[in-house]
Amino acid sequence: MSHNETNRTPIKKNLALIFIFILLLTLTGCEEQSFHGIQKKIRRGLTPGKHTEEAEDDEEKEEPEIISPYYDSHLKLSVTESGYDVFKPARGAGYDYRYGPSILLNDDGSMDAWFSSAGDGTQELDWILYLHSDDKGETWTDEKIVLSPTPNSKDAMSVCDPDVFYHDGYYYIGYTSTIDPTGQGICNNVFIARSENPDGPFLKWDGKGWGGPPEPLVCYDGVWNGWGVGEPSFVLLGDVLYVYTTRDAGAADNQRVRSTEVRTVKLDREDWPNELKFKGYAVIRTDTPKDPSANSSSPKYYGEEYIYSDCDSWDVAYVEEYQKFVAVCTNRRFNSGSCLLYYDSNDGVYFERISELNENVICGCHNCGIMSDGSGHIKKGDPVMAGYAYAGQGGSSWGVWATRFAPLSIGISNLPDRSEEELENMKVSMTRGSRRSSQDAIFITADNLVSMCYEGYSFNLGCSWVDSNRIYHRADASRVTFSGYDENLISVEGNTVTALSAGKTYITIEYEGLTRQICLCIMDPEGMRASKLTRFYSPVDSYEAAISSPYASAIRPIVTYGDYSIRELGYAEISAMGVTFTPDDAAICEVRKDGQIIPLSPGKTVITVSCSDGLSYRVPVIVTE
């Protein structure tokens, strides 16, 4: 080989690489921008709407990555035994469940667990219940309701889907809730509260601090009839918190899209909930379109595509031994063919589906969790456990589910081991339990969650305690205490409340270590009508709408009335109240009559939102590619 040929060879190789790079860019740019095209982009780890230079800047600021020896390997999970029921619905009971467990393993081997449980059945759909075990799950303490909705607030309808982590002296509990005007449980947001004790009392994040009326940690900004965001999960790695949330909403073409979103934040500030940064979509879990003409060797696939069908929320942990994140959920939930499903990830942002778990898993399962420590870590040598709710074979009654804990093993393999996808789950019927024998109080509540009165009026606050069978008992008034209220608005003597001045205040009632908040609204007899609109405002500081986003953004105003009640407007209310949406620059975006934002070109504009009562507000909209 001549000297000149030696010099030219690298140039030829570089030119070839440049050509291939340009070709790939061209193909990517021409890729179909349909819904399924967007899904493919997300599955490859691209985030629609995120500017490339911004992404490069983020990468430049990161520390050099240390590659794990297991980087190219994959986790292998197995349910080693069928496990045991930690909860059985009582015979003859209506709604009776403990789903979506968050299971925390303490350093001394004890365990804490939080569950969604049935609420009062009328005003509040779900409460969050707590259990503790000192003997590795062999026995558990009596139940205790540790979190309930705050009446007349943004989480008034329910608190459910708990996940808990521990940091710097506090237990933080994330949960799902809504003030859905239709009562269907749509338009959910993610909230968070904290306590120095695992069983509370918990103080909710109020947008500025801890303890006021709740404000979302992650606010849903999608179309009005979408399920929304919720079902949070947390992993703490160093001082960075990874926050995983479900988004279940509509695309611009009205197709339903399901994903798991990832956000991160450093926990170096008291107001860290305001600093969450969106990192991308961990996975798309949209139901796979059924193609009856597709040939498949397995009913769980068509072609090479895995079939997602009613795949629910994630619970995520960090496996220290293998330096990987693991996520568990269920697929085909409530179905006789349901399974546990797991994923792994090296960076905690982009996940790969690994396999189903069918062996030792009871059919009809849904809403599962994986045990980890207070940081969301599974340390080498720790016992590992999965928890899930299930209906069992033939179980068809909604809201009547048992909850099972089963031991897991975690290993490693060179390639994803999907051998369990050929196996069947356990076709076992759920068995009901007897009525709980304990008659101890598990919750305290008031006769009226929201009380209305006028200045100068006095009344007695009647309270009741609830046992584990959801039977209400009148509380001894001498053992109930009241605190946390605005002393300028009311005074309390015994259980007698006197209204001093017009306004809205919350009262914390306590009985034998159980607490909850109720709301008191004092009206000015000569003031405004209860039905008069007093405030009309945005639930978010700004909206982002990406032209290539898999989701549609929408403006849904919040209103307050003269009786201090709060409401989010659905489409019917938007129409009835004559709400209009006017962009300053119609070339950037349009807004439909129902509030859906139609992004047209990248840029920034401001939308004026007005209603027939003469109130209005302005909210920025940022449109990206």
Position 16 pLDDT exceeds 50: no
Residue 407 included in any domain: yes
Q: Out of 398-412, 463-477, 536-550, 558-572, give the one with best mean pLDDT.
A: 398-412
Q: Strand 514-523 to strand 450-454: parallel, antiparallel, or no bridges (unpaired)?
A: parallel
Higher pLDDT among residues 532 and 32, named by residue: 532
Copy the structure tokens of residue 588: 């950037």
Most confident of 254-263, 290-299, 370-379, 538-547: 370-379
Whether residue 246 sits in one domain with residue 194: yes
Both tokens assigned to 530: 């209860």
Q: Per the domain annotation, does 455 fall within a domain?
A: yes
Same domain, residue pair 217 and 360: yes
Instruction: Identify which has the larger pLDDT, 20 or 590.
Output: 590
Establish whether the linkage from the previous residue to 407 is cis, with ω within 30° of 0: no
- Beta carbons within 8 Å of 566's beta carbon, 6+ residues apart: 152, 153, 154, 156, 179, 558, 559, 560
pLDDT computed for residue 621 by the predictor: 97
DSSP state for residue 290 in the 8-state scheme: P
pLDDT for residue 54 = 39
Tell me: do 280 and 390 sit in the same domain: yes
Q: In the structure, what pLDDT confidence band is assigned to residue 25 with cuts at 50, 70 and 90?
A: very low
The β-bridge relationship of strands 144-147 and 240-250 is unpaired
323-332 average pLDDT score: 97
pLDDT band at 18 (very low <50, low <70, confident <90, very high): very low
- For residue 431, is it within any domain? no
Task: Tell me if 331 sits within 8 A of 389, measured CB to CB.
Answer: no
483's enclosing H/E stretch is strand 481-483
Query: Mean per-residue pLDDT for 347-371?
Result: 97
- SS (HEC) of 91-144: CCCCCECEEEEEEEECCCCCEEEEEEEECCCCCCCEEEEEEEECCCCCCCCCCE
Q: Which residue has the tokens 């978010």?
A: 540
Last residue of a domain, one of 523, 542, 573: 523
The CATH number given to whatever domain includes residue 561 is 2.60.40.60
Q: Are 342 and 355 in contact (CB under 8 A)?
A: yes
Percent of the residues in the chain that have a pLDDT greater than 90, as a whole number: 76
**pLDDT attached to residue 244:** 98
Q: How do residues 379-396 score in pLDDT, each as one tens digit?
A: 999 999 999 999 999 988
Among residues 123, 133, 122, the alpha carbon closest in space to that of 87 is found at: 133
Q: DSSP letter for 210, please.
A: B
Q: What pLDDT does 8 receive?
A: 35
Q: Check whether 119 has a pLDDT greater than 90.
A: yes
What whole-number percentage of the chain has pLDDT above 70? 88
CB atoms within 10 A of CB 539: 19
User: Mind listing the pLDDT tens digit for each residue in 152-187?
Assistant: 999 999 999 999 999 999 999 999 999 987 878 899
| Contact call for residues 300 and 353 (beta carbons, < 8 A) | no
Phi, psi (rounded to 5 degrees) for 4: -65, -40
Q: Give residue-wise pLDDT tens across range 422-481.
A: 999 999 999 998 887 667 899 999 999 999 999 999 999 999 999 988 899 999 999 999
Q: Which of 101, 102, 128, 103 is nearest to 117 (CA)?
A: 128
Residue 429 lies in a domain: no
- The predicted-structure confidence for 72-95, as pLDDT tens digits, reads as follows 999 999 999 999 999 999 988 788
Which of 523, 550, 571 marks a domain boundary? Answer: 523
Q: What is the CATH number of the domain that holds 165?
A: 2.115.10.20
Same domain, 212 and 317: yes
Point out the least confidently predicted range of 182-196, 269-283, 290-304, 601-615.
290-304
User: What local confidence, expressed as pLDDT, does residue 294 receive?
Assistant: 58
pLDDT (0 to 100) of residue 402? 97
Q: Contact, 231 vs 217, CB < 8 A?
A: no
What pLDDT, on the 0 to 100 scale, is given for residue 66?
A: 63
In 17-48, which positions are buried (b, 16+ CB within 10 angstroms) versus exposed (e)? eeeeeeeeeeeeeeeeeeeeebbebbeeebbb
322 and 417 assigned to the same domain: yes
CA atoms within 13 A on the CB side of 303: 8
Average pLDDT estimate for 538-559: 92
What gap in Å lies between CA 443 and CA 510, rounded to an integer? 10
The DSSP result for 376-428, as a single string, is: SEE-TT--EEEEEEE-BTT---TTB-EEEEEEEEEEEESS---GGGGS--B--
What pLDDT shows up at residue 12?
Answer: 37
Most confident of 40-44, 247-251, 363-367: 363-367
Predicted confidence at residue 295, as pLDDT, reads 55
Q: Within 13 Å, how many C-alpha atoms sit on residue 553's CB side?
A: 26
Looking at the structure, tell me whether residues 471 and 406 fall in a common domain.
no
**Within a domain: 195:** yes
* pLDDT attached to residue 107: 95
* Predicted pLDDT of residue 255: 86
473 and 360 in a common domain: no
Same domain, 482 and 588: no
Mean pLDDT of 591-607: 96
Domain range spanning residue 17?
3-61
The Cα diameter of the chain in Å comes to 103
Residues 276-319 pLDDT 10s: 999 999 999 999 876 655 555 577 887 778 999 999 989 999 99
Identify the band that residue 64 occupies on the pLDDT scale cut at 50, 70 and 90. low
The C-alpha atoms of residue 149 and residue 178 are separated, in whole angstroms, by 10
Q: What is the pLDDT of residue 4?
A: 37
- 582 domain residue, yes or no: yes
Nearest 5°: phi and psi at 572?
A: -60, -45
Buried b (16+ CB within 10 A) or exposed e, 335-357: bebbbbbbbbbbebbbbbbbbbb
**Spatial distance between the Cα atoms of 55 and 118, rounded to a whole number of angstroms:** 43
Residues 506, 553 share a domain = no
197 Cβ neighbours under 8 A, 6+ residues apart: 171
Q: Is residue 387 part of a domain?
A: yes
Residues 223 and 127 in one domain: yes
| pLDDT for the residue 128 | 98
Average pLDDT over residues 25-33: 35
- Give the end of a domain, one of 465, 499, 523: 523
Q: Please enumerate, as own/partner, the contacts of 333-337 that have beta carbons within 8 Å and a separation of 24 or more.
A: 333/365, 333/366, 333/367, 334/310, 334/364, 334/366, 334/391, 335/309, 335/310, 335/363, 335/364, 336/363, 336/364, 336/393, 336/427, 337/363, 337/425
pLDDT at residue 184, rounded to an integer: 85
Can you tell me which residue has the tokens 């009148």?
474
Map residue 29 onto helix, strand or coil: helix
Own/partner contacts of 65-68, CB < 8 Å, gap of 24 or more, are: 68/322, 68/323, 68/324, 68/346
The band of 63, judged by pLDDT with boundaries at 50, 70 and 90, is low
Residue 524: the pLDDT is: 83
Specify the pLDDT at position 243: 98
Q: Would you place residue 121 in the very low, low, confident or very high pLDDT band (cuts 50, 70, 90)?
A: confident
Q: Quick one: which of 280, 238, 247 has its CA closest to 262?
A: 280
Q: Write b or e for each residue in 502-524: b if 16 or more Cβ atoms lie within 10 A of its Cβ, otherwise e.
A: bbbbbbebbbeebbbbbbbbbbe
Position 6 scores a pLDDT of 34
User: Is the pLDDT score of 597 beyond 60?
Assistant: yes
Total domains in the fold of the chain? 4
In sequence order, what E strands does 271-331 have? Answer: 277-284, 301-302, 305-306, 315-319, 324-331
Indicate if 602 and 509 belong to the same structural domain. no
Reported confidence tier of residue 39, pLDDT bands at 50, 70, 90: very low
CATH, residue 515: 2.60.40.1080
Regarding whether 370 and 256 lie in a shared domain, the answer is yes
Average pLDDT of the chain is: 88
- Nearest C-alpha neighbor of 329 from the set 119, 73, 77, 84: 77
pLDDT at 554 over 80: yes
